[in-house]
Structure 1
Amino acid sequence: MYSLFGYGNMIADRHRMNAYVKALEGCIKPGSIVLDIGTGTGICAILACKLGAKQVYAIESNSAIAVAKLAAQDNDCGDKIEFIQAMSVNVDLPEKVDVIVSDLRGILPFFQEHIPSIIDARSRFLQTGGTMIPLRDRLWGTLVHAPELYHSYSSLWQQDIPYNLNLESPRSFLFHAWKKCTISLEQCLTEPLLFAVLDYAQISTPNLQVKLEWRAEKAGLGHGICLWFDSLLTTGVEFSNAPGQPDLIYGKAFLPWLEPVAIASGDRIICDLKANLVGGQYIWQWNSKIITGGKTRADFKQSTFNAKLINREALERRSLDYIPQVNENGIITSFILSLMDKNNNLEAIARECAALFPQRFPTWKNAVNQVREVIDDYGQ
């Protein structure tokens, strides 16, 4: 979930905002029907109204939508925007739209439910001949020399800390996680490689599986792989997040190797890269080989799955033959749900909870917060 500070940083990114404004100016016509997915604080929805849209549907699952409603009123377009707090895949609209605008990406476009949401919205809501913003994202990668960035991994859980502790095992988890980074042109050891094109008018799968291969152009110590994207929002309007370009809010992704490798000019670097959407989150896998003159000098197999702290009991609960039992929280939640839609107010439900679960809630006021959480999750 983004905070208001996070949304503010997006607006403050002038390169990103200027590109989206130009794209909207080129696509919104008087009378246009617009869908803004992930409206956040409502900036694109409000801009669409100011550009002549007749109706805007602004969808946002974050509670920031309350701020968006206020912003729409402040800009005299509250009557043209219907705000819907939900995931777009769970929404039905009364009409087709002429324009779908979104920015659901994270550091990379393969982020949470971004791609499934776009596929769903395109198929259910977009008029024939309608416009998608963005039209296309392209993904790039390069091998990088990044000693300081790598040190942010290797310096944690060092073995030379006091107390005579061996912390190599927890430290080993870190190198299966990637992070946001800033990379300069001088740190790139290979030419950038275009390895994927996401055409949002046609994309049909949220997953990625590609083989990246570079030939090192200069010698240096390689620490891992850097990935980024550039975007075509609409014809003639684009931005790039590449090294050497102005930094954007998205940043770049650094996928570390298990250890640094000295790279010689002419070395081949091969990376089998996968990103699979599982339960709303991506599992990334990058298997890298460094080859000199036909000889493999390094062979790393890494996955963000190996960075997850999942114990044996948690894995067993994911098994298809696992027989679940309801815990106390589940029983209480079920009881609260049973009292909803029966003309019970919050206080009445809390009193019932305290009466039935006195060890958990000594007084009815102790039950209020849990009742509120259930109402937030399942009520309306």
Structure 2
Amino acid sequence: MSNREYATPFSILHAASLLSHKRRIMKFDRALERVVKQDDYVIDIGTGSGILAILAAKRGGRVTAIEINVESLKYAQKAAELNDVDNRVEFICEHFSEYVPSERADVVICEMLSSMMLIEQQIPASSHAIENFLKPAGKILPETVSVFLAPVQNDILWRRFEILGLLFPRLPQTAEQGQCRDLSDLQEIAHFDLTRTNRNVIVEKTLSFTIVDDGIAHGLVGMFEARLCDEIVLNMEDGWKELFVPFERPVNVTKGDCLQVEISYCPGKFDTLNIEVR
């Protein structure tokens, strides 16, 4: 293989690293146990390591696992063989928007969750699945997702873009646990019913935060809560990192202040994000 043909294996390594999220996987398994019946047709969008497709097959499903990254798909195929379900899982290397199923699915798994539904394709992919993959009475996992924001102080991520006297444009970054200091309570900015289509939806809201501690507001931190089915709920503690979204400039705040923030973005389109502090 020539150097030009070699690609760094970031996608497959990331997919495999998610196998450490045991709580997330166990919650999905509980949900699949409830919704997948023997010989149900299941479509798994963005299968990654194949873990959710394999679990669905173990529950009796006939599964189509879609993955755009060829190396991740090969890994998932090997995992299916190791777990004796390769005869129940069909692997498709294609973007979900280009795949045309031969039949409508009883269950669609679409787990592309991210802290604000900003970067990953959770919302557009779920909408596409409702319109093109799922039976009218079928089930999609997850069913709903809510997004929350709060202003925070994060000296580490704010200084990341300043080094040796050089300045770089600030971008949203994942934050380690305990790295952000909350300056106000969380507020819900959006709620998505994923059992319905959310085509061309725009999140647009003005939030008024009451500051609970003196500090410097460097930006917002985003997180989510997603209901798989019934009482089975995913949250940040199940393996996701918070997303730190920096302001254009830091804001000094005092306890009792009201900080108004206007935010808008199109879910799944990173470059549409706009934040203004009032």
TM over 0.5: yes
Structure 1 residues 117 and 258: alpha-carbon distance in aligned structure 2, compared to 1, 3 A threshold: closer
Deviation at 1:185, TM superposition (A): 9.5
Query: SS state of the match for residue 223, structure 1?
Result: strand
The match for 1:215 among 195, 203, 210 is 210
- C-alpha separation in 1, matches of 2:108 and 2:194: 11
Deviation at 1:104, TM superposition (A): 1.8
2:83 — aligned with what? 75
1:17 — aligned with what? 25
Deviation at 1:157, TM superposition (A): 4.8
Amino acid at match of 1:35: I
Deviation at 1:14, TM superposition (A): 1.6
| Aligned residues of 2:117 and 2:267 also touching (Cα < 8 A) | no
- C-alpha separation in 1, matches of 2:274 and 2:254: 25
Amino acid at match of 2:151: L
- C-alpha separation in 2, matches of 1:16 and 1:22: 10
The match for 1:257 among 247, 250, 261 is 247
| Aligned residues of 1:110 and 1:206 also touching (Cα < 8 A) | no
Q: How does 1:1-380 map to 2 (within 5 A)?
A: 2-53=10-61, 55-63=62-70, 64-153=72-161, 155-158=162-165, 167=166, 171=167, 173-175=168-170, 177-184=171-178, 187-202=181-196, 203-241=198-236, 246=237, 248-276=238-266, 281-289=270-278
| Aligned residues of 2:203 and 2:267 also touching (Cα < 8 A) | no
| Aligned residues of 1:210 and 1:272 also touching (Cα < 8 A) | yes
> Whose relative contact order is higher, 1 or 2, with alpha carbons under 8 Å and at least 6 apart?
2
User: Which range is displaced more, 251-260 or 95-104?
Assistant: 251-260
Amino acid at match of 2:45: I
- C-alpha separation in 1, matches of 2:208 and 2:19: 36
Cα deviation code 1:95-138 (max 9, x no counterpart): 11111002123443222543222211111221122111011111
Q: Can you give the 5+ residue segments of structure 1 that lack an aligned partner in the other structure? A: 159-166, 290-380
| Aligned residues of 2:189 and 2:203 also touching (Cα < 8 A) | no
Deviation at 1:41, TM superposition (A): 2.1
Identify the structure with the greater strand proportion.
Answer: 2
| Aligned residues of 1:231 and 1:238 also touching (Cα < 8 A) | yes
Structure 1 residues 15 and 282: alpha-carbon distance in aligned structure 2, compared to 1, 3 A threshold: farther
Structure 1 residues 94 and 36: alpha-carbon distance in aligned structure 2, compared to 1, 3 A threshold: same
- C-alpha separation in 2, matches of 1:76 and 1:91: 25
Deviation at 1:239, TM superposition (A): 2.2
After superposition, the CA RMSD in angstroms is: 2.2
Amino acid at match of 1:263: V
Query: SS state of the match for residue 245, structure 2?
Result: strand
Deviation at 1:195, TM superposition (A): 1.1
Deviation at 1:204, TM superposition (A): 2.9
Identity score, percent? 23
User: Which range is displaced more, 23-32 or 185-194?
Assistant: 185-194
| Aligned residues of 1:111 and 1:282 also touching (Cα < 8 A) | no
User: Which range is displaced more, 132-141 or 104-113?
Assistant: 104-113
Cα deviation code 1:67-105 (max 9, x no counterpart): 212221222211211111101111111111111002123
Relative to the length of structure 1, the TM-score reads 0.66
Structure 1 residues 185 and 61: alpha-carbon distance in aligned structure 2, compared to 1, 3 A threshold: closer
Structure 1 residues 281 and 112: alpha-carbon distance in aligned structure 2, compared to 1, 3 A threshold: farther
- C-alpha separation in 2, matches of 1:206 and 1:112: 15
Deviation at 1:36, TM superposition (A): 0.4
- C-alpha separation in 2, matches of 1:12 and 1:188: 27
| Aligned residues of 1:108 and 1:250 also touching (Cα < 8 A) | no
Query: SS state of the match for residue 130, structure 2?
Result: helix
- C-alpha separation in 1, matches of 2:89 and 2:201: 29
1:358 — aligned with what? none
- C-alpha separation in 2, matches of 1:282 and 1:103: 22
Deviation at 1:31, TM superposition (A): 2.1
Amino acid at match of 1:58: A
Amino acid at match of 1:272: E
Relative to the length of structure 2, the TM-score reads 0.88
Q: Can you give the 5+ residue segments of structure 2 that lack an aligned partner in the other structure? A: 1-8
Cα deviation code 1:264-300 (max 9, x no counterpart): 122111111111369x6542111112xxxxxxxxxxx
